[in-house]
Amino acid sequence: MDFRLKALTKSIWVFHVSAGSCNNCDIEILDCLTPRFDVERFGIQLVGSVRHADALLVTGAMNKKSIPRLKKIYEQAPKPCVVVACGICAVSQNMFRDSYSMGDPLDKIIPVDVYIPGCPPKPEAIISGIVKLVKKIRGA
Amino acid sequence: MSHKVIIPIGPYHPLQEEPEFFQLYDEGEKVVDIDIIIGYNHRGIEKLSESKHFDQVAFLVERICGICSSSHPYAYVLAVEDILGGEAAVVPERAVYIRTVVDELQRIHSHLLWLGLAGHFIGYNTVWMWAWKYREPVLDLFEMVTGNRNNYAMLKIGGVRRDIKDEDIPVIKKTLDELVPAVRMFEGAVMDDPVIRARLEGVGILTREQAIDYSVVGPTARASGLDMDVRRDDPYGAYARLDWNIIVEKTGDIFAKTVIRIREMQESIRIIRQCLDKLPPGAIDADVKDIPPGEGIGRVEAPRGECFHYIKSDGTNRPVRHKIRAPSYMNVASNKVAVIGGTLSDATITLAAVDPCYCCTERVAVMRRDTGKKVMNGWDLIKLSQEKTARLKGGGA
């Protein structure tokens, strides 16, 4: 296994990008950090700059104004960087697919490693998604 | 000599969950001007709504904002029921009470959420963790009553989708009883803590006149001494039949806004208890077949203020026009007066004090591709259209 990829499986630092979401996924992500779920036990935390991040957690339906910023953020992220699509909007644009302000879905813009569907996914689902991601990296 | 520094915050910044872009113009520590640039969240919901069936729109407007996800559908169904003859005429009594319960539960969860984030912004992460810890039981209640933690899908035209079971009522009451000491604890913690008082008192003041000038709504207005609340002024749901108070403060600073939100939670708990006691038996939805042609409005007091929906129907199964005005649209503009003159370190909590919700507020602006400069709003587009007509007229003549 690639050493740099292996390093990703411990204490993942996450940068959160909201590309036109309704706030629900963002709140549930913050909820994961609060006492009931408390993923900080495993060293997972939100970081302020994408240059510190191991993973990109993307929510929202990709509107035209945020897509250029999303691309830029992905370019700035240190590689290897895993991308998690959180919520059905990020997975498939859901009911906003036909809107005039929507661009391409997330996986046509940047490569996505894990999809977490749900509107919004429960914190348990988000944690389960991260566990699957870690398993996938270890198995690789 | 001081020189101006521009500090950009956003669009993706650890301070914010949502993408929005502030430019603070500073002279030394003092903020002298602010630009608020939004649009990163625009999803074109008003236009999408015109392509959906009346029943589907309730699910769509629920996803305008994840925090007010019962206020927007409530305002929407009120607007449609306004065409049908009003909520009281269409909706069964039991459904009206269930709607009120969900609306107030949402207010508690939203205010706890804001309290936590406000604590986080002033460096009190303990407040954040405690507030969100006590928010979890409220979300559990939502899961029990509506089937989902957020996005409740509870409201439909003519009633509600799910009933509150009799065996659930004691559980709800017990959870609320456990919440009361927590809210009291927050009230004591905020009012007695000298550091919180020093950070919040006299900061980000919005005077009564400024509040009127900027047409702010909800807790932001009530903190500046404006006694207004849609629940009393234009009653919907069961509010007119219940005993509750409107909390008004005079000072207009962030401390007043915090106190108002904490006390409103206590009022919400009182309202839910009364609703559960009075919950009448009967059906939970009326059979609504067709929406006749007409126009209707719906107003709801969302946790952030008045949420307004307008629906125009032409007798088909889709709205012809759907206009939405969310409370943050009015409140965010008041940041302009609240932030300017304060110090840079107070800017974050001041910007957060109106409980801004940018998902609700998003508007679209059209930019000319050739210059990249001219930003057009609706009026400019109308003007452009009128100019074109004039030009065509001139050419034809």
Q: Which of the residue ranges A24-38, B96-110, B375-389 has the most confident prediction, judged by mean pLDDT? A: B96-110
Please indicate, yes or no, whether residues B377 and B270 belong to a single structural domain of this protein. Answer: no
Give me the pLDDT at residue B3, please.
64
Give me the pLDDT at residue B82, please.
93
| Domain contains B325 | yes
Burial class (CB in 10 A: 0-12, 13-18, 19+), B254: buried
Phi first, then psi, for residue A56 (nearest 5°) are: -110, 120
Confidence of residue B376 (pLDDT cuts 50, 70, 90): very low
**Nearest-Cα residue of chain A relative to residue B113:** A27
**Surface of A (64-123) touching B: CB under 8 A:** 65-66, 69, 73, 95-96, 98-102, 119-120, 122
Please indicate, yes or no, whether residues B388 and B309 belong to a single structural domain of this protein. Answer: no
Range B187-208 burial, b when 16+ CB lie within 10 A, else e: bebbeeeeebeebbeebbbbee
The pair of structure tokens assigned to B374 is 């001219």
Give me the pLDDT at residue B371, please.
47
> B238-288 pLDDT, tens per residue?
999 999 999 999 998 999 999 999 999 999 999 999 999 999 999 999 988
Give me the pLDDT at residue B323, please.
92
> B5-41 pLDDT, tens per residue?
777 776 776 656 677 777 778 787 788 888 877 778 8
Give me the pLDDT at residue B170, please.
94
Measured between beta carbons, the chain A residues lying within 8 angstroms of B364 are: 101
Which of B40, B112, B127, B375 would best serve as a mutation to test chain A binding (most A beta carbons within 10 A)?
A: B40
- On whether the CB atoms of residues B106 and B70 are closer than 8 A, the answer is yes
> B285-335 pLDDT, tens per residue?
998 888 999 999 999 999 999 999 999 999 899 999 999 988 888 888 888
Please indicate, yes or no, whether residues B328 and B380 belong to a single structural domain of this protein. Answer: no
Phi first, then psi, for residue B42 (nearest 5°) are: -70, 130
Please indicate, yes or no, whether residues B284 and B375 belong to a single structural domain of this protein. Answer: no
Phi-psi region of A38 (alpha: psi -120 to 50; beta: other; left: phi over 0): left
Mean pLDDT throughout B78-96?
92
Among A17, A22, A27, beta carbon nearest to B12: A17
The candidate with the shortest Cα–Cα distance to B158, out of B87, B59, B83, B53, is B87
Q: Is the peptide bond before A121 cis (omega within 30 degrees of 0)?
A: no
Please indicate, yes or no, whether residues B266 and B147 belong to a single structural domain of this protein. Answer: yes
Which of B56, B63, B114 would best serve as a mutation to test chain A binding (most A beta carbons within 10 A)?
A: B63
Which one-letter DSSP state was computed for residue B163? Answer: P
| Domain contains B289 | yes
Please indicate, yes or no, whether residues B348 and B378 belong to a single structural domain of this protein. Answer: no
Please indicate, yes or no, whether residues B258 and B393 belong to a single structural domain of this protein. Answer: no
Confidence of residue B344 (pLDDT cuts 50, 70, 90): confident
Please indicate, yes or no, whether residues B287 and B351 belong to a single structural domain of this protein. Answer: yes
- On whether the CB atoms of residues A9 and A138 are closer than 8 A, the answer is yes
Q: Return the CATH fold of A3-139.
A: Rossmann fold (3.40.50)
HSE at residue B134, side-chain half, CA atoms within 13 A, is 27
Confidence of residue B393 (pLDDT cuts 50, 70, 90): low
B129: distance to nearest CA of chain A, Å?
6
Sequence letter at residue B76: Y
Displacement of CA A3 from its chain's centroid (Å): 22
Q: How many CB pairs under 8 A join A and B?
A: 118
> B122-141 pLDDT, tens per residue?
878 888 899 999 999 999 99
CB contact under 8 A, A102 and B43: yes
**Does residue A122 surpass a pLDDT of 70?**
yes
Total tally of structural domains belonging to chain B: 2
Higher pLDDT pick, B130 / B395: B130
Mean pLDDT throughout B75-95?
92
Measured between beta carbons, the chain A residues lying within 8 angstroms of B357 are: 23
Q: How far apart are CA A99 and CA A101, in angstroms?
A: 5
Measured between beta carbons, the chain B residues lying within 8 angstroms of A102 are: 43-44
CB contact under 8 A, B150 and A96: no
Please indicate, yes or no, whether residues B149 and B274 belong to a single structural domain of this protein. Answer: yes
Strand order in the sheet with B30-37: B4-9, B21-27, B30-37
B366: distance to nearest CA of chain A, Å?
11
The candidate with the shortest Cα–Cα distance to B363, out of B310, B395, B323, is B323
> Whole domain around residue B136: which residue ranges?
45-361
Higher pLDDT pick, B397 / A84: A84
Among A16, A31, A120, beta carbon nearest to B151: A120
Mean pLDDT throughout B156-173?
92
| Domain contains B257 | yes
The answer for residues whose C-beta is within 8 angstroms of residue A131's C-beta and 6 or more apart is none
Please indicate, yes or no, whether residues B258 and B376 belong to a single structural domain of this protein. Answer: no
Q: How far apart are CA B141 and CA B145, in angstroms?
A: 6
Measured between beta carbons, the chain A residues lying within 8 angstroms of B14 are: 46-49
Give me the pLDDT at residue B374, please.
45
**Does residue B370 surpass a pLDDT of 60?**
no
Q: What is the pTM of this model?
A: 0.89
HSE at residue B372, side-chain half, CA atoms within 13 A, is 0
Please indicate, yes or no, whether residues B268 and B397 belong to a single structural domain of this protein. Answer: no
| Domain contains B85 | yes
Give me the pLDDT at residue B321, please.
92
Higher pLDDT pick, B248 / B364: B248
Give me the pLDDT at residue B397, please.
42
CB contact under 8 A, B63 and A119: yes
